[in-house]
Structure 1
Amino acid sequence: MILDFDVPTKEIERRKQIIRDVWNYKLDNVDHIPIQLIPIPNSKGYTLQERFTEKRRQLEVEVEKIKAGLELIPDDYIPTLHPDLGYVITQSVFGLKPVYADSNQPPYTKKDPPRVAKVDDIYKLKMPDPYSDGLMPQGLKRIKFLMKETNYQFPCSLLDVGGPMDIAYELMGTNLFFTIMYDAPEAMECLVNFLADALVALRDACIEAAGGIENITSTGWDEKWFPKKGYISNDLAAMYTPEFFEKFAIPADDKIYN
């Protein structure tokens, strides 16, 4: 794809350096804390489902987004790509099917029945293959497509694969997710550690598809550029105790980054 705008490479690097300096508390030459706003014009009005399922439409929206960002936000904006199939990737590699209830809402996966219906099911889970299971092959192709079509000029985010505790919830029935932490904590520890290993495999495949770690925004799904690493989703943390967060979430998250 031929871009109809110039990419200010030196200016983008200057903006990145400011963020690096802020992260390292080198503030002598920083006049403000960088704020990244991301406009998404979507002038053709593609639905979310169209953007998730049709690669060229997602590409159009991404390129239009970058052009608008460079024009409208002259100081802090760093152009990036966001290959996205929705928060259903990891669920799909364990056999759950994505469903669209509305074309303008993200897909979800039904737990009918849940992949882990009882504690014993945890020990039957198999490590997924990121190159053949679920939506991962399509997601890897999407990353490669967006990067190639824009000539690797912009870093891309990874796919939204979630965090260990979030995916544990996605694979279980709701009741089991909350009761297992009390009734079978060793099984929960086993599950989230297993999921941490699975997520590392998925993330590594995404990084490879992007052409290397220098071509990504962060080690998570966020399209905002980070100088290093990233973060892990813990969307449900407010729903269980700080003690459970320390016991289950933190060790599994640390396993991904360490």
Structure 2
Amino acid sequence: MIVPNLSLDEKKRFLQRFWRREERGPVFYIGSPARNAFQGSTLPSFEELLNLELSRLMARRHILDFDIPALRTDFGTGIFPSAFGCPLRYEEGRYPWSEPIIFDDPSAVYRLRKPSVTDGLLGKVLEFTRFAVQSTEGKFPVKMTDLQGPLDIVYLLWESNNFFLALFDAPQAVHHLLNIVTELLIEFVKAQKAHASEVEFIPCHLPHYIPWGEGICVSEDLLALLSPDLYREFALPYLNALSDEFGGIFIHSCGNFTQNLDVLCEVRGLKGVNFGATETPFEDVVAKLGGKVVLSPHLGLNKEIRFSTVTEYLFHLKRVGQHIPFLYILVDTTNSLLGHDMCWRPEELEEIYAVFASWGDSHGE
């Protein structure tokens, strides 16, 4: 059974070499029930958030995978829009949702000032980061908050229909705002790392472990919506800027972004791609990026491409990616219509372990 029989420090060192493409995979993360999103119309207390995080970590101690236990600091995708003054809407069971502040007048972007890293919910993220570190006496690493990419943030600031029109009618205004957002992203990530103090700061909000200096993770959901020409013009320069600043970039995107695989090949310092294998066909990603960067499939909505069980999904990945060296596989049904709650029965975990045991020539062997 190929379960990582490694200490925590050995896992970290292995994963660092893996991101540098000095070790083979597959490495894998097995999901567990996530802590609930915010409930009600206000932010929960920091004490409540931290207790939920600690409970989440305790609940997955029996799972044998490449997870590095760390405290998450997610406050939802509205954190950067809130810093620009976007109103927030609170709904039961969801993170705060931001409303746009730019509508049919693209010149409004020139009246926006660059926020401080403490404005809006950004300040709450920093405060919670420091609180979590102090309250746990530095026992756990801290994960970077959910970082939307520059273009995704601009999209959230803009009413969606008018945003897409502006890509054609007011590209200079879009680029002006993209530059401001990119600068703010860089400043904020450095500020959050500073608030983590001497504790290890993991620049990824997803389950992956990425050591500092090996890149940064961003969510790029517009990757699935834009044509290659538009994505190349409005996303690529700003992803390159983040990659240059942080030693590489790891991109997450929902949806099917097959049309932009060639553009991803142009991202400087691309470390890897996380995608739903039930939306973006695994075969297409392997054909374009296999062996070049880390490929990290997860079980997406299970709608366009369907699997009846988790093991069927894993055997599909094995069949297509058997000889791909750099796979970081997520066994996670968080947003899937598959209907599994990830309260794994022992026999289910054994089945998952058995798939990876049958993979062969992995983990440096």
3-state secondary structure, aligned to 1:91: helix
Structure 2 residue 55 is matched with structure 1 residue 64: yes
Query: Is 1:93 matched up with 2:83?
Result: yes
**CA apart distance, 1:215:** 1.7
What 5-or-longer segments of structure 2 have no aligned partner?
Answer: 1-5, 245-365
Distance 1:23 1:16 in 2: 11
- 1:215 is matched with which residue: 194, 200, 213? 200
- SS in structure 2 at match of 1:53: coil
Corresponding residue for residue 224 of structure 1: 208
Partner of 2:340: none
Other-structure match for 2:233: 247
| Counterpart Cα distance in 2 of 1:21 and 1:94 | 39
Query: What residue in structure 2 maps to residue 19 of structure 1?
Result: 15
Partners of 1:106 and 1:207 in 2: CA distance: 23
Query: Percent of pairs identical after alignment?
Result: 25
Q: Which residue in the other structure is 2:251 paired with?
A: none
Equivalent position amino acid for 1:107 in 2:
P
| Distance in 1 between residues matched to 2:48 and 2:208, nearest whole Å | 21
- The answer on whether the counterparts of 2:167 and 2:174 sit within 8 Å (CA) in structure 1 is yes
Q: Is the 8 A contact 1:82 1:158 kept in 2?
A: yes
CA distance, structure 1, for counterparts of residue 37 and residue 217 of structure 2: 28
Amino acid at match of 2:15: I
One of 99, 109, 131 as aligned partner of 1:110: 99
Q: Please list the CA deviations of residues 179-200 of structure 1 after superposition, one character each: whole Å capped at 9, or x if unmatched.
A: 1111122222222122111211
CA deviations over 1:106-150 (Å, ceiling 9, x no partner): 220123xx245411111111010113x212222111011111112
Q: Deviations over 1:60-107 (max 9, x none)?
A: 1211222233x2223422101101222211011111122122x21222
Q: SS state of the match for residue 30, structure 2?
A: coil
How far residue 233 of structure 1 moved from its aligned partner, in angstroms, is 1.6
Instruction: Tell me, in whole angstroms, the C-alpha distance in 2 between the residues paired with 1:110 and 1:178.
Output: 16
Kindly indicate whether the alpha-carbon contact (under 8 Å) linking 2:89 and 2:96 is maintained by their aligned counterparts in 1.
yes
Question: Is the CA contact 1:80–1:223 (under 8 Å) kept in the aligned structure 2?
Answer: no
Instruction: Look up the match of 1:135.
Output: 121
Q: CA deviation at 1:209?
A: 0.9
Which consecutive segments of 4 or more residues in structure 1 shift more than 4 A? none
Alignment equivalent of 2:72, drawn from 73, 82, 106: 82
- Report the secondary structure of 1:40's partner residue: coil
Give distance in 1, aligned partners of 2:97 and 2:46: 19
With structure 1 as the length reference, what TM-score do the two structures score?
Answer: 0.83
Contact 2:114 2:184 in 1 (8 A): yes
Contact 2:88 2:96 in 1 (8 A): yes
2: CA distance, partners of 1:202 / 1:74 = 33
Answer yes or no: is 1:120 the counterpart of 2:107. Answer: yes
Shift of residue 15 of structure 1? 1.0
CA–CA distance in structure 1, aligned partners of residues 34 and 121 of structure 2:
27
Tell me, yes or no, if the aligned pair for 1:94 and 1:134 is still in contact at 8 Å. yes
Please state which structure has a larger fraction of its residues in strand.
2
For 2:200 and 2:207, locate their aligned partners in 1 and report how far apart those are by CA, in whole Å.
12
Structure 2 residue matching 1:224: 3-state secondary structure: coil
Report if aligned partners of 1:89, 1:161 keep a CA contact under 8 Å in 2: no
CA contact (8 A) 1:161 1:202 kept: no
1:223 deviates by 4.7
SS in structure 2 of the partner of residue 36 of structure 1 = strand
TM-score by length of 2: 0.60
1:39 offset after TM fit, Å?
A: 2.2
Which residue of structure 2 aligns with residue 33 of structure 1? 26
**Aligned mates of 2:146, 2:66 — CA distance in 1:** 24
When the two structures are aligned, how many residues end up with a matched partner? Answer: 236
